Structure 1
Amino acid sequence: ERLTVGETATVTFTFSESVTGFDLNDVQYDTSKGTLGALTAVGTDGRVWTATYTPSSGIESATNTIRVNLGGVQDAQGNAGTGTGSSGNFSIDTRPTVVDRPPEVTVTISDER
């Protein structure tokens, strides 16, 4: 996945069972390279959540991931998760596009005698 100027990505967090206590404090990513919008539950079972990721402008980065600290979430029995879960790698290129044009010249010849 590659994000460019004006693009956003929907990030989907899918847990193996219903969880409680999941919020943006559990999500780890480089906030200098982009922002993650509010978490929204998909359905009513508490297993799937989404958020919109918006890359910052002027960034070129080939290695980016979004991780979840599972210690911040609990299952229905109150058991806290352990470890982290991570997205696959994605790249960001939101640098301004420079169009490389050859130099132009206008020559005017005047024949006045």
Structure 2
Amino acid sequence: TANADGKTWTATFTPTANVNDTTNTISVNLTGLTDTAGNAGVSTASSANYTVNTRSADTTGPTATITLADTALTVGETTTVTIRFNEPVTNFDASDIVLTDANGTLGTLTANA
């Protein structure tokens, strides 16, 4: 919004959600502007640095603990694998499991209540 003198403009800035960043500025490209005499602007103008912290207090990702009901398996045995996260997770499926060093296969994942 322009003030009556045409020199002062204001707008409301809304920071992006879920961001934690200490290096932010807003800039104006002056080369696209002209004054009332038709003189083009030169270069840019930038605000002072400001911080944005719109992340919730929980800023760390989930962790997991993996336990096996039986840790000494022999021919024909199976064991229950329990994966417990420190907080609820979404989008967890079999493609997230790495069995490279497991020497076996894993059955279907089942979420507990």
Normalised TM-score (structure 2): 0.50
Greater per-residue strand proportion: 1
